[in-house]
A and B are shown apart, each in its own frame.
Chain A
Amino acid sequence: MAEEVKFMKGNEAIAHAAIRYGADGYFGYPITPQSEIMETLMDERPWETTGMVVLQAESEVAAINMVYGGAACGKRVMTSSSSPGISLKQEGISYMAGAELPALIVNVSRGGPGLGTIQPSQADYFQTVKGGGHGDYRLITLAPNSVQEMADHVALGFDLAFKYNNPAMILTDGVIGQMMEKVVLPPQRPRKTEEEIRREQPWATLGKTKDRKRNIITSLELDPSIMEENNIRFQAKYRRIEENEVLYEETLCEDAEYLIVAFGSQARISQKVVEMAREEGIKVGLFRPITLWPFPKKQLFEYSKKIKGILTVELNAGQMVEDVRLAVECRIPVEYYGRLGGIVPTPDEVLVELKKLVK
């Protein structure tokens, strides 16, 4: 398959991008609003072309543990779900962080808590970037704001996961998952051969050959002195990721006196707000974190030296705002605006909130 321009949903783009990346396996369980990912994969039948395995599991718990099993073989494997299902996957995510396994997890999040709603939400921000599962670990988190980025972040997520042997998550919402846009799908890449995996992931459990010791994938270590060393190694890795992998986008920030900080679908709405505010003479720019972890702390701190205030726009009760305040060390006012329970704000509402900060 060559590069192709298509018009499709964000969820569908993830499925196509996974096949074209040369992913080895997808394991999932249906949940709204992301079921199109597995449906598209089943419809595309990649097992007949690239050899990619697609399997509907009996639960989100089973699906994430299938991902663990596949990742421990050095395979490019992924799962997707939405908020309640992602809660169930936290066990497996923590185990993968502890066993240092690379994998891609997609959360097309919806409003909670509990069964909540199927409407869009960004209320899983804390769960994703602060832990979610048990233990001291970090999850590489990408926040696409378009159907194009849904496709692009599949490759980016896998690449980062394998670069650091750590699970990566695409944290998006029903807006990006369900909306249709033009997308450029990359050309088909071949899946890795077993020989390539044995070379590039020498830890992979693909059968013990005579030239090496047995490989054991585990997060268990009962000796606390070794377990502390393991944790120190994890933390050092997280620091390297924070140093090297921060991604963000700036729109009209150069002369800005104020910033809106928003990610994913809310960055799309905030882009319109910036246009409207600029027409009224308010010098505001949009700062969009693309990686939610690692968070662009340094960049926001630099802005705090030259701007007057920040408004975060989030589909939650104010979660990322805490990280923004920490980043700017409370040197400038940082306010939050958001809607809850699956309601998406209009640009006009956000503009009103921005003006309160500006006045």
Chain B
Amino acid sequence: MEATIISPENLVYDKPRLMTDVPMHYCPGCSHGVIHKLIAEVIEEMGMEEKTIGVAPVGCAVFAYNYIDIDWQEAAHGRAPALATAIKRLNPDKMVFTYQGDGDLAAIGTAETIHACNRGENIVIVFVNNAIYGMTGGQMAPTTLIDMPTATCPQGRNVELNGYPLKISDLLAQLDGTCLVTRQSVHTAAAVRKAKRMLQKAFENSMARKGTSIVEFVSTCASGWKMTPDQSNKWMTENMFAKYPLGDLKNI
């Protein structure tokens, strides 16, 4: 019976070939898994798996290299764009991307992010913004919303003490070196399909030497937010999208 169901003519969906069979460490309801899958699909569909080098961050996606079957480098916290700069400059025919969270990209790695983008490095930066430090247990991120509680601002983010949520993608869109800055999400089937199109555009830009492309994913962190996956998606839609509206900030 089973064999009939998965015969080629009946196959409507399959796990991307580049996704490994390793069980993922991500929590239920986390956006990382879907974003990983989209990256694997795009690389595979572009036929670039032998030419792609990924740079993993420090944070929840530190083990991204376990899940997508390509060559990877693991960067120090925040330094992924510096690694990617050298990889791409030394190997112009390769497709190079970083995968970074909000703390990695917009706090400790702000200088590396801004300057790689400002040089117009021909790389893709995948930016997962869930407004919290997931890996270390839910501390405040540069993108944490005002009044949003975290382990290091348990009474909620206080502007006087902690400043404002950093809209780093808006800032990056101002730089002459970027060609695509887009904010996407993966909470609905439609959003997933749209996000994949933008991800592919970003990778194509990098090979066409158009400059730096940034795909921000406004994401959930059910564990860090202390919500169910369903609540997380709802909360993200109501609160995160208000501060980080989806759509293209720059697309040239």
> Are B83 and A72 in contact (CB-based, < 8 A)?
yes
Pick from B56, B85, B111 the residue with the most CB of A within 10 Å.
Answer: B85
A163 at the interface (CB under 8 A from B): no
> Are A95 and B76 in contact (CB-based, < 8 A)?
yes
Give Cα distance in the complex from A72 to B72, angstroms: 9
Give A166 Cβ to nearest chain B Cβ, in Å.
Answer: 17
For A67, what are the chain B residues with a Cβ–Cβ distance below 8 Å? 86
A332 at the interface (CB under 8 A from B): no
> Are B73 and A214 in contact (CB-based, < 8 A)?
no
> Are A216 and B84 in contact (CB-based, < 8 A)?
no
> Are A69 and B71 in contact (CB-based, < 8 A)?
no
> Are B76 and A92 in contact (CB-based, < 8 A)?
yes
B204 at the interface (CB under 8 A from A): no
> Are A55 and B89 in contact (CB-based, < 8 A)?
yes
A51-83 residues with Cβ-Cβ distance < 8 A to B are 53, 55, 57-59, 61-63, 65-70, 72-73, 75, 77
Q: With A58-B112, A62-B79, A214-B69 given, is the CB distance from A219 to B86 under 8 Å?
A: no
> Are A62 and B115 in contact (CB-based, < 8 A)?
yes
Give Cα distance in the complex from A55 to B81, angstroms: 14
Which residue in A25, A210, A214, A218 is a CB contact (below 8 Å) of B90? Answer: A25
B52 at the interface (CB under 8 A from A): yes
Give Cα distance in the complex from A208 to B44, angstroms: 13
> Are B69 and A208 in contact (CB-based, < 8 A)?
yes
Contact-residue bracket for chain B = 20 to 34
> Are A73 and B65 in contact (CB-based, < 8 A)?
no
**Beta-carbon nearest neighbor of B89 in chain A:** A53
Which residue in A53, A59, A214, A217 is a CB contact (below 8 Å) of B111? Answer: A59
Pick from A25, A55, A75, A208 the residue with the most CB of B within 10 Å.
Answer: A208
For A281, what are the chain B residues with a Cβ–Cβ distance below 8 Å? none
B49-105 residues with Cβ-Cβ distance < 8 A to A are 49-53, 55-56, 62, 65, 69-76, 79, 82-87, 89-91, 94
Give Cα distance in the complex from A66 to B115, angstroms: 12
> Are A69 and B86 in contact (CB-based, < 8 A)?
yes
Give Cα distance in the complex from A75 to B50, angstroms: 18
A257 at the interface (CB under 8 A from B): no
Which residue in A58, A99, A208 is a CB contact (below 8 Å) of B50? Answer: A208
Q: With A24-B90, A57-B82 given, is the CB distance from A205 to B72 under 8 Å?
A: yes
B112-130 residues with Cβ-Cβ distance < 8 A to A are 112, 114-115
Give A60 Cβ to nearest chain B Cβ, in Å.
Answer: 11
* B interface: dominant SS: mixed
For B82, what are the chain A residues with a Cβ–Cβ distance below 8 Å? 57, 61-63, 65-66, 68-69
Give B22 Cβ to nearest chain A Cβ, in Å.
Answer: 12
Instruction: Give the A-B pair count, Cβ closer than 8 A.
Output: 124
For A57, what are the chain B residues with a Cβ–Cβ distance below 8 Å? 82, 115
For B71, what are the chain A residues with a Cβ–Cβ distance below 8 Å? 205-208, 214-216
For A158, what are the chain B residues with a Cβ–Cβ distance below 8 Å? none
Give Cα distance in the complex from A68 to B77, angstroms: 13
Give Cα distance in the complex from A257 to B154, angstroms: 70
Give B112 Cβ to nearest chain A Cβ, in Å.
Answer: 5
Interface string of B11-53 (1 = CB under 8 A from A): 0000000000000000000000000000000000000011111
Give Cα distance in the complex from A206 to B62, angstroms: 20
Contact-residue bracket for chain A = 35 or more
Which residue in B53, B72, B74, B86 is a CB contact (below 8 Å) of A27? Answer: B86
> Are B74 and A219 in contact (CB-based, < 8 A)?
yes
**Beta-carbon nearest neighbor of B82 in chain A:** A65
For B94, what are the chain A residues with a Cβ–Cβ distance below 8 Å? 206-207
For A220, what are the chain B residues with a Cβ–Cβ distance below 8 Å? 62, 74
Give Cα distance in the complex from A61 to B112, angstroms: 9
Which residue in B53, B65, B79, B90 is a CB contact (below 8 Å) of A77? Answer: B90
For B72, what are the chain A residues with a Cβ–Cβ distance below 8 Å? 205, 214-218
Give B43 Cβ to nearest chain A Cβ, in Å.
Answer: 11
Give Cα distance in the complex from A214 to B53, angstroms: 10
**Beta-carbon nearest neighbor of B85 in chain A:** A66
> Are B79 and A72 in contact (CB-based, < 8 A)?
no
For A159, what are the chain B residues with a Cβ–Cβ distance below 8 Å? none
Give A100 Cβ to nearest chain B Cβ, in Å.
Answer: 13
> Are B70 and A58 in contact (CB-based, < 8 A)?
no
A127-176 residues with Cβ-Cβ distance < 8 A to B are none
For B56, what are the chain A residues with a Cβ–Cβ distance below 8 Å? 218
> Are A58 and B115 in contact (CB-based, < 8 A)?
yes
A209 at the interface (CB under 8 A from B): yes
**Beta-carbon nearest neighbor of A212 in chain B:** B71
Give Cα distance in the complex from A95 to B83, angstroms: 12
Give Cα distance in the complex from A345 to B185, angstroms: 65
User: Could you write out 11 A-B pairs with CB less than 8 Å apart?
Assistant: A62-B82, A62-B85, A62-B111, A62-B115, A65-B79, A68-B82, A69-B55, A77-B90, A208-B49, A214-B65, A220-B74
Those 5 A-B pairs whose CB atoms lie nearest each other, nearest first: A69-B83, A218-B74, A65-B82, A69-B86, A58-B115
Mark A residues whose CB is within 8 Å of B.
24-25, 27, 53, 55, 57-59, 61-63, 65-70, 72-73, 75, 77, 91-92, 95, 99, 194, 205-210, 214-220
A-B contacts besides A55-B89, A68-B82, 7 pairs, CB < 8 Å: A25-B86, A59-B111, A69-B84, A69-B87, A206-B53, A207-B50, A208-B49
Mark B residues whose CB is within 8 Å of A.
49-53, 55-56, 62, 65, 69-76, 79, 82-87, 89-91, 94, 111-112, 114-115
